Structure 1
Amino acid sequence: MGLAPKGRTGEFEPRMDTSTGHGRYGYSALPTRPAYDWPGGRRLAVYLALNLETFDFGSGLGAELAPGGVQPDVLNYAWRDWGNRVGAWRIKDLLDDLHMPANVLVNSRVYRDCPGLVEAFRARGDEIVAHGRSNAERQGTLDEAGERALIHEATAILTREEGRAPAGWLGPWISQSRLTPDLLAEAGYRYLLDWAHDDQPVWFSTRGGGRILSVPYPQELNDIPAIVARKDTGRQFAEAIVDAFDEMREQSRDAPLVMGIALHPYIVGQPHRLRPLRQALAHIAAHRDAVWPTTAGAIAEHVATMADLPS
């Protein structure tokens, strides 16, 4: 877990090693860490991260199906918009069929741009995670005041709509400034999802003696790097999910692990990609008694109860 011995406060504190350049956590080799279990004595936690995102028409950032032309880039904008109008609903039906929980990573402007979409996943009992205002911007380019304002605006909208503050955050485009963990902790967040540096949750130190938990978020099992960047087919992506799941089930005999799968409706909601995805998730669902199908928030809550875990 990367935890250091108890200090004067009686709580475990992250090991600090500023040689890493960020000072958030120190080096910890997975085989040297203490073993523990997830609920029910299981060792592999599996969560799905479904990104519900909105984009600016005629400006801003956005994933591309094909090289974009001059703005307004109708080809790519419409492709992304299809995800919220069609793809997300097909993925919801798939998750319903398999009785699988999900984390829904929500740009706060989705409530305005796509009324009823987030509400449909809320009705499933899915965990709603903050994902900035929109995916047309990166928060890491902002100064401290601007980033704090972005976090405050997104948090306020999600809190108003969901009736409670979100526990977790994923930055748009996995973008962070050097102050992001501090600002998130100060805003009341309990965990962040931006870092893909481990297969277990890791405590990050924050300024003022605080801390925030980093829950592993996938970049390999993520349809944007896999399909948009590497040009994998939907079937190759699904095969990677199955192979990773089977391998991590075996590896988790020695240590508890977290396996995340990141999905975007405008990519894997497409019918020719949805069918192999269905088969991959059905493979995971068939082993639900041997693993922990869960959410990132539940993982964070479980780790938060382990403050007396030996270092």
Structure 2
Amino acid sequence: MPTTSDHGRYAYSALPDRPVYDWPGARRLAVYLGLNLETFAFGSGLGAELAPGGPQPDVLNYAWRDWGNRVGAWRVRDMLDELGLPAGVLVNSNLYRDCPGLVEAFRARGDEIVAHGRTNAERQGEHDEAGERALIAEATAVIARAEGRAPAGWLGPWISQSPLTPDLLAEAGYRYLLDWAHDDQPVWFATRNGRRILSVPYPQELNDIPAIVARKDSGAQFAEMIVDTFEEMLEQSRAAPLVMGIALHPYIVGQPHRLRPLRRALRHIAERREAVWLTTPGAIAEHAAGLPAIP
């Protein structure tokens, strides 16, 4: 595959040069929510930090993250019900053990369950090939057993990939991955042995961890980013079909002072549902996979 990069997964393609197609219902903008349900290890491992942590056990940050599963996720669920919005729920497989009933509550809404590794206390890309293959197999088996079918999509914990991750996911039967934020349209990735896997855009700008934890934006600023992105992409989608993802973590946006402006922003989108395709990443992947126009 001709490419100017070293990864060999896809060739360069300028958005204005691509064929134009529609999403279902003749829409041009697909919008999805990626709700991250994550579990962490007490006294060890990785985790986002509200404030610089001290020696382990880092109770301040562990408890803040645990609040998201005990309280924040349920408030987010109620908000999504209120607004009639679907979600792609990105699930650490250890949640079925650590937080019984949590994933099941989103399954009951009809949300898509997307694999998100075992736990966000580890980075996937730090494993060797055998270890990464085992991580993928374990998480897939747990989710498939609980949900009655294997997940179609994968987001690595911490957006962490090894050089072999797309190959291993394709070989494990995954149809799409979410780790790459390199485009506003789905893109086919080449994988070894003649396989391929679809990359569905996942946001790093419109993501509460980089925005709120890293850049220290307020909940109101994050909500304003959502509305501005939506309006701009809706206008841009007149020329080309686009995907707008919004990445959310309950321990961040479930906090009342952030949930209130988030609700306003998502209500703004919900009120425009006739103009856009409100969907899930799996539905985007399924539709895109049948289009000859996808590079």
TM-score range, shorter chain: over 0.9
Q: Is the aligned partner of 1:232 residue 2:207?
A: no
- On the 8 A contact 2:30/2:243 being kept in 1, the answer is yes
Aligned to 1:309: 293
> What are the residue-to-residue correspondences of 1:5-84 with 2, within 5 Å?
16-84=1-69
SS of equivalent to 2:227: helix
Structure 2 CA distance, aligned partners of 1:305 and 1:143? 34
Aligned to 1:7: none
Structure 2 CA distance, aligned partners of 1:197 and 1:186? 23
Q: How far 1:229 moved relative to its partner? A: 0.1
Aligned to 2:181: 196
Structure 2 CA distance, aligned partners of 1:270 and 1:180? 34
Q: Is the aligned partner of 1:110 residue 2:88?
A: no
Aligned to 1:136: 121
Aligned AA for 2:44? S
SS of equivalent to 1:101: coil
Q: How far 1:304 moved relative to its partner? A: 1.3
Aligned AA for 2:77? K
Q: How far 1:134 moved relative to its partner? A: 0.1
Aligned to 1:178: 163
Q: How far 1:58 moved relative to its partner? A: 0.3
Aligned to 2:258: 273
Q: How far 1:17 moved relative to its partner? A: 2.7
Structure 1 CA distance, aligned partners of 2:281 and 2:294? 23
Structure 1 CA distance, aligned partners of 2:159 and 2:176? 14
Deviations, residues 143-164 of structure 1 (Å, cap 9, x unaligned): 0000000000000000000000
Structure 2 unpaired stretches of 5+: none
Structure 1 CA distance, aligned partners of 2:293 and 2:222? 36
Q: How far 1:224 moved relative to its partner? A: 0.1
Structure 1 CA distance, aligned partners of 2:3 and 2:25? 37
Structure 2 CA distance, aligned partners of 1:268 and 1:69? 24
- On the 8 A contact 2:288/2:294 being kept in 1, the answer is no
Aligned to 1:208: 193
- On the 8 A contact 2:115/2:139 being kept in 1, the answer is yes
Aligned AA for 2:170? A
Give the 3 Å change call, closer, same or farther, for CA 163–179 of structure 1 in structure 2. same
TM-score by length of structure 1 reads 0.94
Aligned AA for 2:288? V
Q: How far 1:305 moved relative to its partner? A: 1.3
Q: How far 1:31 moved relative to its partner? A: 0.3
Aligned to 2:70: 85
SS of equivalent to 1:160: helix
Structure 2 CA distance, aligned partners of 1:94 and 1:221? 19
Structure 2 CA distance, aligned partners of 1:34 and 1:180? 29
Q: How far 1:19 moved relative to its partner? A: 3.2
SS of equivalent to 2:278: strand
Aligned AA for 1:134? T
Q: Is the aligned partner of 1:96 residue 2:104?
A: no
Structure 2 CA distance, aligned partners of 1:100 and 1:134? 26
> Which of 289, 293, 310 is the aligned partner of 2:278?
293
Aligned to 1:3: none
Aligned AA for 2:109? R
Structure 1 CA distance, aligned partners of 2:279 and 2:121? 29
Structure 1 CA distance, aligned partners of 2:209 and 2:73? 15
CA-atom RMSD in angstroms: 0.8
Q: How far 1:309 moved relative to its partner? A: 3.1
